[in-house]
Structure 1
Amino acid sequence: MANQIEKSFEKTLFGSRWLMAPMYLGLVVALGMLVFVFVHEVANYLPLVPSMNADKVILVVLTLIDLTLAGNLLLIVLFSGYESFVSKLDVAEASERLGWMGTVDFSGLKMKLIASIVAISAIHLLKRFMEIGKGKSDIGFGNSELMWLVVIHMVFVLSGVLMALMDYLTARAKK
């Protein structure tokens, strides 16, 4: 009887992983939101292209890259998280399956996540630095705000380096 209760408990516990499925669907909605914002940005700037200077075009491109990296980050978390914690994705033929799918473990997911965050932070910081001295009153970034952007970016970089170091030491200890 106790063995049956234990098996039932373990089945329930294992089945609870499906409670994560709505969260992954929420990430799909978030990806749709990013696509909407991306298309909106392109639609807003496209008519302005003839009057844009090189700096403005670069800022627009950086904004679009920023949104794309955020979308890539969402896909990595969506696919890797679902496959790691809920169920394997059996929807694509072998030729269509993304090369990294099914191979990214939690450690790899952490590294991809922090690398994406550092890249997004770096692009945001670069955009702000490019806006210095352009006379834009709507930016609202003074020296203090820029300093904090740099500090936050460096915290992300340091976190990434420390995570990589921890993964290296863990892998080395296993050998």
Structure 2
Amino acid sequence: MKSLELIVERIILSSRWILVAFYLGLSLSLAVYAVSFGYKFLKVAGGVFVLDEGEMILAMLGLIDAALVASLIVMVMISGYENFVSRFDESDTDVSFIGKLDAGSLKIKVASSIVAISSIHLLQVFLNAEQYTDGKIMWLTAMHLAFVVSAVLLGFLEQLTKKTKTTD
């Protein structure tokens, strides 16, 4: 019975390597997103003398939004790989810039990134308010507030967890 238990444990532990397919897929999606970003940038650069100030601000917010999304993808890939699959060999790569994120810290960073992305989208909506109905703006604002409350609650729960761990 003990040998069966060892086999099951090895299978379960080995299955974490399946996550590598997801992280490689995210890497490829990041490359595709970089092409999309390049296209958006060329459109903005081509319209630099045509766009008015408001349109230029909206275009820049779109580029900032894309950079935040790309950073979120990288953060999830690196932290997820290191937390759930395998540690990076620090002698081969300098990963000290990441800051060691545990699963709880990663959730908070992801939630914070989502709030930042949502803020940019909401700002874009407010700058183009005439194109939206009041009801749509209300729902977008409510969704943003839900993201903010979720991020704050995740941070609060993480603090409670850390306090509990230090008192044990």
Q: State the TM-score, normalized to the length of structure 2.
A: 0.92
1:154 aligns with 2:145: yes
Question: Residue 55 of structure 2 corresponds to which residue in structure 1?
Answer: 56
Task: Measure, in 1, the Cα distance between the counterparts of 2:72 and 2:38.
Answer: 18
* Ranges in structure 2 where 5+ consecutive residues have no aligned partner: none
Question: In the alignment, residue 141 of structure 2 is paired with which amino acid?
Answer: V
Alpha-carbon distance, 1:173 to partner: 2.1
Higher relative helix content: 2
1:22-75 Cα deviation digits (max 9, x unpaired): 111111121112111100101122111112221111111100000000000000
Q: Write the letter of the residue equivalent to 1:41.
A: K
Look up the match of 1:106: 103
Change over 3 Å in CA distance of 1:29–1:115 after alignment to 2: same
2:155 alignment partner, one of 153, 164, 167: 164
- Alpha-carbon distance in 2 for matches of 1:29, 1:120: 21
C-alpha displacement of 1:159: 0.3
Equivalent position of 1:28 in the other structure: 27
- What does 1:1-150 align with in structure 2 at a 5 Å threshold? 2-90=1-89, 93=92, 96-101=94-99, 103-133=100-130, 139=131, 141-150=132-141
- SS of corresponding position for 2:49: helix
Mapped to 2, the partners of 1:9 and 1:29 lie a distance apart of 32
Runs ≥4 residues deviating over 4 A: 91-94
Letter in 2 for 1:11: R
1:98 CA displacement = 4.2
Q: 2: distance between equivalents of 1:53 and 1:92?
A: 50
The number of equivalent residue pairs is 166
In angstroms, what is the RMSD of aligned CA positions? 1.6
Identity of aligned residues (%): 34
Which blocks of at least 5 consecutive residues in structure 1 are unaligned?
134-138
